[in-house]
Amino acid sequence: MHNIYEQIDANKRRSFWVITLFIAFVPPFGYFFPYLYNYDWTFLVFALLISGIGSFVSYYNSDSIALSLAGAKQVTHKTYPSYFNIVENLARVARIPTPKTYLIPSPALNAFATGRDPKHASIAVTEGLLTKLTRTELEGVIAHELSHIRNYDTRLMTIVAILVGSIAMVLNWSWRLSWHRGGGDRDNNSGGNAIIMVIGVIFIILAPIIAQLIQLAISRRREFYADASSAHLTRQPSGLINALKKIAANENIPLETANTATAHLYIDDPVTTETHGTWLAKLFSTHPPISDRIKALEGVA
């Protein structure tokens, strides 16, 4: 397990490489689609321009977008003093600015952190979490979310989610355009053209799938790191262990405002209840099984 400073540096490097790989994706995409469907670069430039503007807006407003989708309302020390004090005290221990505190009106047990950096971060918890967890357990959950902020997980996952969404959006537009135009009119009788077409189609189909798998793998890895960081911040791994057990026991309570776009943000997947499914199901999951996370925490207890 890396120390906190190594984790922060690693996440900053990953953010750089994720953006670099996305930029590297553009040239082959820009070649294959115009080639396959015989249209010029105008569409590609337009699509990437719109995607770029959308990505810029999403990056700087990712926290407000996520909080709005969750139906979270900001709370203060006056309205929820215990919750606010826990966040404030643990933020001081973590040596980061105190994030804004939000409450999600739901009996489900869940929480998430969002924001592009520690200075622009927010934490949201559900009413169910505040009601059913003890103070020690709540500290474990909040320390987990603060760890995501301190480790720059929130920035990394924001960038990854935006770029994956951009890839999916541009590809979707491209397919729609090619459908309306009735496909290309390239002479595909030659072997060279046929090979390029096959490569292009495979690339176009696999690109968004691979991008999503990378996003999910990063998300699962970040959960283990945040769990370990929570134990380090609170010095009480049992708090988060017991909290995760309660969260798992109450997974049948739906979080109505959650959706697949924001599921990776939460401490527990609010969309798909935990199952001990096949390796394929785990491959497409946003979170590692809670049982595995508890086992890892028990190893540092």
Q: What is the 3-state secondary structure (H, E, C) of 95-152?
A: CCCCCEEEEECCCCCCEEEECCCHHHCEEEEEHHHHHHCCHHHHHHHHHHHHHHHHCC
pLDDT in the model for residue 60: 80
How far apart are alpha carbons 162 and 35 in whole angstroms? Answer: 27
pTM score of the predicted model: 0.75
pLDDT in the model for residue 16: 63
Amino acid at 9: D
Could you list the residue range(s) of the whole structural domain that residue 79 is in?
1-301
pLDDT in the model for residue 97: 96
How far apart are alpha carbons 115 and 96 in whole angstroms? Answer: 13
Annotated catalytic residues are: 145
pLDDT tens, 56-114?
777 788 888 889 989 999 999 999 999 999 999 999 999 999 999 999 999 999 999 99
Q: Which percentage of the chain shows pLDDT scores above 70?
A: 58
pLDDT means over runs of 10, the chain (301 residues) = 54 63 62 59 65 71 88 95 97 96 97 93 96 97 95 80 67 59 51 59 67 68 88 93 96 88 87 60 73 87 60
Domain count, the chain: 1
pLDDT in the model for residue 220: 76
